[in-house]
Structure 1
Amino acid sequence: MTEACGEARRIGEVMRRARVLQRRSQKEVAAALGCHQSKVSRLESGRGTEDIRVLRAVAQELGIPPGQLGLAAVPDVSAADFGAEDMRRRTFLAAGVVAFVSPADSVVARDELVQALLPGLDPAGTAAPLDTTVLRKRVGEARRLFHTCDYTALERMLPGLIADLRKAAQDARAMDAFSPLLATAYQTATSLLLKQRDQGTAWLAVGRAMAEAERSGDPLILASSVRVQAHVLARERHTAQAVALVRRTADQLTGSYDRRSPEYLAAVGLLLLRGATAAGGGGDRAATEEFLSKEREVARYVSLDRPDAWATFGPTNVALHEVSARVALGDVGLALRAAHPLMRRRIPVPERRAALWLEVARAYSRQGHLAEGYRALCVAETCAAQDVRRPAVRDLVAEMAARDRRRTLPGLHQLSRRLGVFA
């Protein structure tokens, strides 16, 4: 299983790199192939790459040498030979030069996380104490690892944590205590998987999160689970569904802000933030402005910057999400204007600091200001080195390096090589 996952991810990375370097969107490539955009998205995330006919079509469309996808060099392969070619492809990918495969320990950690998320299984726990206090501290530590962008440690920690929480929740009398903690652990897993562009496993994780949130009956846990579900929907380009989900849930929770707890307000605020970014990514200006307006209203009553389930909400995070939404809408001038005050503001959560500078880099890149964009990338890397190594940022770096044809920014090309993307 580990080998197959590594092969599929490598193929997906090759496809993604070829598309980005040609400055083509997934939608454009999908139209050329005669399929839906979600098909291209799945291929780039390493799903569906066992279909050799599809691989050949992609290779031809993007100009990828067949050998880079483990395909035979001959253009026509009879149906009888597809099994043999598939075997050659797997052998090649397992033994060839794999520039984009994750380290072996990372792949093992991912497999363990997938196993922990599968329903009906009883994954091995850590033999740590299963009392509520200890498990709550461990869930808090998982959230801290996410907010500090220590994704490697988080991926190693989550399988054992989830297994222990599931074991503790088997006692019906303890379900009320452990369902909220399990939901938060699943939410954290979803967010991590989205960072790693593994939407397939993210769907599995968010399904578990929603089930535990509903079981808990806690509106704050439910709001947090809806938030990550909307994030998964938006990543799969189901923007309208994501916006409708956030709007429907927020309508049930908003109001009487002056009488709500800080945790309640932060949960509602973070849900609205997700609505704004989903709407911005889908080009829905009206919905984006609607959510931003509601966020500002909630932020008048609360400001939290703690690494827990409802943390990092307040005026600063509202402003940061406005930057992200403006970039997504293509209003890069407005985005940079909103970002400038944040650049001088103290942002205590590393993941949020990195997010700001990455959006600034994206905005400058869209303006054609590659030098300023590269400087923003450097700041982001000092904030959270692992965040800069995730697939979305690697795509940005590859695109910027490809546009610097005269190689006027040697540091940008060095960064590109460090990240394993080459212009």
Structure 2
Amino acid sequence: MDELPIGRRVAYWRGRRKMSQQVFADRLGKSKSWVDKVERGVRRLDKFSVLYEIAVILRIDVQLLLGKDPERRTDAFSCIDQVEVQEIRAALEQYASMTVYFDAVSYPPPLSDMRKAVTHAWLTYQYGRYGMLTRALPKLLREAQAADAGYGGEQGKEAAHLLGQVYQIASSVLRKLGECELAWLAADRSMAVAQRADDQLLAGVATARVCNALVAMGRARPALELNVSIANRLAPGGMNDSAPDRLSVYGMLLLQGAMAAARFGDSDTVEDLLHGAHEAALMLGSDQNHYWTSFGPTNLELHRAAAAVELGDGGRAVEIHQGIPEPSFNGLLPERRAHHLLDIARGYAQLGDIAKAGEMLLRGDRLAPSEIRCRPIAHEVMSDVLRRTRGALPAPIAELAEQMGVGV
């Protein structure tokens, strides 16, 4: 296989994954003609970023596409392993700001490079490529910490802002993958750094990350209190403006507060907070991504459905889902859509419609495989689907369950 041209390797692994050229092209965001030309060697495949995307979709190490021995297990592009967890833990345990107190950083990373790296990391997260992100995080954390320690003045504020974002990215992906304590640590660090960055909105988003981690650890009540407390301080009106970025962060805090309240069954508080978020979304007008929040009218409906699932009302969740305009839903980033489909799979399971629950898992997997294959809650839903399916499993469900490593 090593001697094969790279296009032939792509064709080989696509065949192993039982994907047609059209399905593969759709997942990659290319045309079928483009795929055909690559596989026949008519079109060169020389962009490493595209190679990585192909590796993610085919669930193989990129080294295999290059004809080399893989350095890690071949499913590493989908999930996280304990080696990666320990590398991230070690990076989070760095105290560069204290070290620089005694010995200044000689050559901190250029801020222009850090901006690009942080933007790329956010997009990797919002496209649901968690395996790729977790492998990049240790280096990104160390570089962001070095920049934060090495710059002063206005540059120091920007470096702190970038480090705060990296901590938030780390917290978000670690929580998704079930590493809740590390997620809390990263989020807690982001709150402290946001204060040094002198950015209230960054601090507001950091608060939401902390609260998400607390909810994941079973601490929903303090999460609710903290979300609402900071949301009240950032609310538009009075001395606060009504700029889109403020509306987005404020709305995000209310949505996360609603999810925390739903976790312990406080439906009245859920409705109050969703109402406040609805008003903010109306003022914003459309789904936007200020401070990487993806806040807006459509994302509000996704959270409304998710809260209904947490409250045990799968019927209401499905009703909300069916009322979301398809163009608006398709305009959201893959992580948001796949996350929502996982929530709706849970809703259908609550209704006893196991076939539909399985269908939602498959749809989510097509959008962002890591969101379905790597999250513990998705494994629980798949186990439920397998256990409650009568007769033979549909082949796509059986294949997905095998890829997830989930048995009856």
Tell me if 1:289 matches 2:271: yes
Q: How far off its partner does 1:386 sit? A: 1.2
Distance 1:154 1:104, change over 3 A: closer
Q: How far off its partner does 1:103 sit? A: 9.2
Q: How far off its partner does 1:406 sit? A: 2.9
Aligned equivalents of 1:104, 1:300: Cα separation in 2? 37
Aligned equivalents of 1:334, 1:119: Cα separation in 2? 46
Query: What is aligned with 1:358?
Result: 342
Q: How far off its partner does 1:325 sit? A: 0.2
2:233 paired residue among 245, 248, 252: 252
1:309-388 to structure 2, matched below 5 A, reads 309-342=291-324, 344-345=326-327, 346-388=330-372
5+ residue gaps in structure 2?
1-74, 100-105
Aligned equivalents of 2:251, 2:78: Cα separation in 1? 37
Aligned equivalents of 1:388, 1:207: Cα separation in 2? 27
Q: How many pairs are equivalent?
A: 321
1:253-292 to structure 2, matched below 5 A, reads 253-256=234-237, 259-292=241-274
The TM-score normalised by the length of structure 1 is: 0.71
Q: Which residue identity is paired with 2:404?
A: L
1:70-81 to structure 2, matched below 5 A, reads none
1:180 paired residue among 161, 184, 200: 161
Q: How far off its partner does 1:210 sit? A: 1.3
Tell me if 1:418 matches 2:398: no
Tell me if 1:120 matches 2:95: yes
Query: What is aligned with 2:383?
Result: 398
Secondary structure in structure 2 of the residue aligned to 1:212 = helix
Secondary structure in structure 1 of the residue aligned to 2:323 = helix
Tell me if 1:110 matches 2:110: no
Aligned equivalents of 2:250, 2:322: Cα separation in 1? 26
Aligned equivalents of 1:101, 1:351: Cα separation in 2? 18
Aligned equivalents of 1:164, 1:410: Cα separation in 2? 45
**Retained in 1: the 8 A contact 2:338–2:364?**
yes
**Retained in 1: the 8 A contact 2:194–2:206?**
yes
**Retained in 2: the 8 A contact 1:190–1:205?**
yes
Query: What is aligned with 1:242?
Result: 223
Tell me if 1:143 matches 2:122: yes
CA RMSD of aligned residues (A): 2.6
**Retained in 2: the 8 A contact 1:303–1:314?**
yes
Secondary structure in structure 2 of the residue aligned to 1:208 = helix
Query: What is aligned with 1:190?
Result: 171
Secondary structure in structure 1 of the residue aligned to 2:362 = helix
Q: How far off its partner does 1:137 sit? A: 1.9
Distance 1:308 1:132, change over 3 A: farther
5+ residue gaps in structure 1?
1-99
Secondary structure in structure 2 of the residue aligned to 1:330 = coil
Q: Which moved more, 1:152-161 or 1:216-225?
A: 152-161
Q: Deviations over 1:135-185 (max 9, x none)?
A: 122111111000000111111222112211111121333321211111111
Q: Deviations over 1:355-402 (max 9, x none)?
A: 221111111111111111111111111111111112210111012101
Secondary structure in structure 1 of the residue aligned to 2:143 = helix
Q: Which moved more, 1:406-415 or 1:303-312?
A: 303-312
**Retained in 1: the 8 A contact 2:80–2:134?**
no
